[in-house]
Amino acid sequence: MVRVKLWGSLRSLVDGQEFVEVEASNFKQLLDQLEQQHPALKPQIKRGVSFALDGVIYRDAWFTPISDDNEVVLMPYMVGG
């Protein structure tokens, strides 16, 4: 199981949990599982999320492999100027 860290304001949508666990081997599966198990997260995922994998931020990249040993943190979709 991959342990996904959620930012503070998402936690209220998943009964206050800071971490949720999903079965996933890449980012796409992770998003699908999050939407399926926690439908309240759907609107934010639809608006866009980035994720940090062991400290490296990825903006999209569905097929980035993820394993149970990775630190996975959900982040708002990255922008710039």
Partner 1 sequence: MPLDQNSKRDFKVIGKRVLRPDGIDKVTGKAMYGADMTAPGMLVGRILRSPHAHARIVSIDTSAAEALKGVKAIVINADLANPEDEFFADIRDNCLAREKVLYDGHAVAAVAAVDKATAKSALRLIKVKYEVLPHVTDVDEAMKADAPVVQEGRADESAPAGSSQNVTSHFEFGHGDLDAGFAKADKIIERSFKTAATHQGYIEPHACLASLGSDGRGELWCCTQGQYNVRTICSEVCGIEASQLRVTASEIGGGFGGKTTCFIEPVALALSRKSGKPVKLVMTREEVFRATGPTVSSSTDVKIGMTSNGRITAAQAKLRYQGGAFPCGTVEFGAQAAFAAYDLEAVQTLGWNVMTNRPKEAAYRAPGAPMAIFAVESVVDELCQELGLDPLETRLKNAARKGTLSSYGPTFNDIGLVATLEAAKAHPHYTAPLGENQGRGLSCGFWFNFGGNTCVSLNINPDGTVGVVEGNPDIGGSRASISMMAAEELGIPYEKVRTVITDTNSLGFNDVTDGSRVTFAVGLATIKAARAAIDNMCERVANIWGIDRDAVEWVDGAAQPAGPNAGSHPPMSLAEIAAVADQTGGPIAGHHEVNADGAGVSFGVHLCDTEVDPETGATKILRYTVFQDAGRAVHPDYVEGQMQGGSVQGIGWALNEEYIYGDDGRLQNAGFLDYRVPVASDLPPIETVILEIPNPGHPYGVRGVGETSIVPPLAAIANAVSRAAGVRMTELPISPPKLLKAMSERG
Select from 53, 36, 54 the least CA-distant residue to 45: 36
Q: Can residue 16 be called a binding residue for partner 1 (CB under 8 A)?
A: no
Q: Can residue 71 be called a binding residue for partner 1 (CB under 8 A)?
A: yes
- Nearer Cβ to partner 1, position 1 or 40? 40
Q: Can residue 43 be called a binding residue for partner 1 (CB under 8 A)?
A: yes
Which residues are within 8 A (CB) of 64 and not within 5 positions of it... i.e. 6 or more apart?
26, 27, 53, 58
The structure tokens listed for 43 are 């609107």
What is the binding site for partner 1 (CB under 8 A)?
5, 7-9, 11, 13, 40, 43-44, 47, 52, 54-61, 64, 71, 73-81
